[in-house]
Amino acid sequence: MRILAIGDIVGRSGREYVERNLNKIRRRFSIDFVVANAENAAETNGINPEIAGRLIDRGVDVITMGNHTFSCKNGEIAVEENKRLVRPLNFPPEMEGRGYVEIDVGYATVAVINLVGRVNMAPADCPFHAVNAALKKIDSDIIIVDMHAEATSERLAMGHFLDGRAQIVFGTHTHVQTADEQILPKGTGFISDLGMTGIKNSIIGTKIDIVLDYFMKSGKRVKFMKETEGEVRLSGCVFDIDNRTKKVTAVHRVNIEGEQ
């Protein structure tokens, strides 16, 4: 089984690139299952029902979110209605949506769990305790975890915490792809950050001039606007899993540009 994990989809440019090209990418790389983080897919961050529906229709099997889950109007409706859209498991239980989903692909069941970190992030319950409790309920052949967090150390800690208990742990949120893809000692495929799917010539998807102005004026309050012009890069990681043993056999970073 070959699984593609796509880094944070940013704005209209990122999501439309995925919509146009994902099925071709699936064929090109012989992808069996796709999970994509889309917490920045709307223009104002977050996601709405229409965006979620289009991404699923165009080839994403499961959408994960993060700290911006409810930043968009109708975000609550999206996470309630779309059963393939998951929000962080360690959000308060009163919040709309679900923290994991299990998908039957015919020859295997795949569980996708979404977590959010606590280092330099908004308050949330402990992701380590939350995922520990969830694993006692999940009965899937393959377990994938999106650890949406600011700190690389927290993401790597989650990788080791789940080593041998989940097939795949990847990080999202910082939009910059890391070069630490690996198979951890007990067999879990890991990367600290998948990167970003959005305009290549930007600062993590945002217009360069706006971000420079923010830093040069000592954090002056500005309205961050997503970059909409230029070439899009899809960043992520491909994980190969042996169909018999359900073990990860290879981890490959991917960066795809241009129309497929």
Q: Tens digit of pLDDT for each residue in 241-254? A: 999 999 999 999 99
**Band (197; pLDDT cuts 50, 70, 90):** very high
| Nearest-10 Cα torsion for 149, 182, 200, 36 | -60
Q: Tens digit of pLDDT for each residue in 212-225? A: 888 888 766 777 78
Give the predicted TM-score (pTM) of the model. 0.95
CATH number, domain 2-201+231-257: 3.60.21.10
Contact by Cβ (8 Å): 196, 234: no
Q: Tens digit of pLDDT for each residue in 14-65? A: 999 999 999 999 999 999 999 999 999 998 789 999 999 999 999 999 999 9
Q: Is 160 known to be catalytic? A: no
Q: Tens digit of pLDDT for each residue in 96-146? A: 999 999 999 999 999 999 999 999 999 999 999 999 999 999 999 999 999
The Cα-based distances of 211 to 110, 205, 221 in angstroms read 39, 10, 11
Q: How many Cα atoms occupy the beta-carbon half-sphere of 198 within 13 Å?
A: 30
Q: What does the domain layout of the chain look like in residue ranges? A: 2-201+231-257
